[in-house]
Amino acid sequence: AGKGGVIDTWLRKHRLIYIGATRHPFILAIRDGTVNYSSFKKWLGQDYIFVREFVAFAASVLIKAWKESDDSEGDTEVILGGMAGLHDEIAWFKKEASKWGVELSETVPQKANQLYCRFLESLMSPEVDYTVAITVFWAIEAVYQESFAHCLEPDTNTPPELQEVCQRWGNDGFGQYCHSLKKIANRLLEKASDDLIVGKAGDDVLKKAEVELIRVLEHEVEFWNMSRGTA
Ligand code: HMH
């Protein structure tokens, strides 16, 4: 891969869908202060359901990292740190839901959410390569990091009551964590492309990682669409 690694090469190649996921009208509405609060509440309830599913996916990635190697690179610590973050996030969702009057126990997953969760479930299988799974894991976290960090830039009109939400994924610590995940993914993708050169089975892994990355971006767009009530 060229400079910046495999991931940046793919993001350049699939730029439009990446922009679609990280600069969605729902995010732009938060950023310019025109967000519809019923959309926000819908997103909150649906994302809580998604995050619970995402915890199980994270656990499956952790197991793959642990099986993969001697872990001299410290992959499991990074993933475990992410899981600790998800633990906080679940508590935060409960607090936030009660603040906004969203009844989580009565929230039912909508179609786009169900499809996204089903997609995650398919990737929890032991047959799915660690390289593919960590690429997906990075992409899911990175979309939220990019999206919410965009709402915290100078000269935005993000409403004060939504600043904390944006901080959750837009803060520097979360940015660092996403960077660590990206480094792991790039390292493994680089290895898969080296395997390709020496005639080992790297082609399948690379192709699948790229395909699943695009699927993540598509699911993220659908997820935002659902929150806005356009899907
Ligand atoms: C739909 N994508 C969705 N929800 C999230 N909470 C994240 C990504 C980031 O964890």
CATH number at residue 196: 1.20.910.10
What does the pLDDT average to over 83-112? 97
Q: Minimum mean pLDDT among 168-172, 202-206, 225-229: which range?
A: 202-206
What does the pLDDT read at residue 68?
Answer: 83
Cα(47) to ligand 1 centroid in Å equals 7
> Which pLDDT band holds residue 194 (cuts at 50, 70, 90)?
confident
Looking at every residue in the chain, the average pLDDT score rounds to: 94
Contact 83 CB / ligand 1 (< 6 Å): no
- Residue to mutate (ligand 1; options 52, 92, 144, 225; most atoms within 8 A of CB): 144
Q: What is the pTM of this model?
A: 0.95
Per the structure, the complete domain to which residue 216 belongs is given by 5-228
| Sole residue written with tokens 């990737």 | 123
Q: Minimum mean pLDDT among 36-45, 67-76, 139-148, 215-224: which range?
A: 67-76
Annotation marks residue 220 as catalytic: yes
ipTM field: 0.97
What is the number of structural domains in the chain? 1
What does the pLDDT read at residue 231?
Answer: 44
DSSP class of 128:
S
Q: Which of 2, 222, 1, 7 is nearest to 132 (CA)?
A: 7
Q: What is the 3-state secondary structure (H, E, C) of 187-210?
A: HHHHHHHHHHHCCCCCHHHHHHHH
> Could you give the percent of the chain with pLDDT greater than 90?
89
